[in-house]
Amino acid sequence: MKKRVLLVEDDLGMIDLVQIQLELLGYEVIVTIDGLEATEKAASHLPDLIVMDILMPKLDGFQATKLIRQDPKTKNIPILAATALALPGDKEKCLEAGCDGYIAKPFTHRQLETAIDSVLQKQPGDFQRTSS
């Protein structure tokens, strides 16, 4: 069974790019375009990983991450911040908000794979990525 990733991204071009990269890594991808919908889909689909944009409409990635962490059903899902916020201190803000890892846009396929592996290695064995 494929591992499931919730991709939270409001840029359509970025959605296409990252979704293809995740599928090449063997994941089933669920897409949402705002933080509010992300909290709902996290609870209803219980993905193995969330790739979270930070700058989005309705709820930004910081707010969505905090809500996901407050829900007992979703609080342990690993979250990778994938964001254009790349100034000094931005990575720390993402981690403080509850993200387990951080990657700055734009990123390569290899950088995304490394960031995902790093986040999943911090989690219990059930979350280890498997290629198909």
Which domain CATH number covers 31? 3.40.50.2300
What is the C-alpha end-to-end distance of the chain, expressed in Å? 9
Structure tokens at 11: 């840029």
What pLDDT score does 110 carry? 96
Number of domains in the chain: 1
What are the 10-residue block averages of pLDDT along the chain, 132 residues in total? 94 95 97 96 97 92 96 96 88 94 94 95 51 34
Strand (E) or helix (H) holding 51:
strand 49-52
The single-letter code of the amino acid at 10 is D
What pLDDT score does 123 carry? 61
Question: Is residue 131 in a domain?
Answer: no
What pLDDT score does 19 carry? 97
What pLDDT score does 27 carry? 97
Question: Is residue 128 in a domain?
Answer: no
Question: Is residue 22 in a domain?
Answer: yes
Its domain, for residue 20, covers 4-122
pTM of the model: 0.90
Q: Which residue has the tokens 């063997």?
A: 26
Question: Is residue 103 in a domain?
Answer: yes
Cα distance between residue 61 and residue 75, in whole Å: 15
Complete DSSP assignment for 6-41: EEE-S-HHHHHHHHHHHHHTT-EEEEESSHHHHHHH
Cα distance between residue 97 and residue 38, in whole Å: 15
What pLDDT score does 2 carry? 87
Extract the runs of DSSP E, i.e. beta strands, from 69-131: 79-83, 101-104
Picking from 42, 68, 54, 40, the residue whose alpha carbon sits closest to that of residue 10 is 54
What pLDDT score does 51 carry? 98
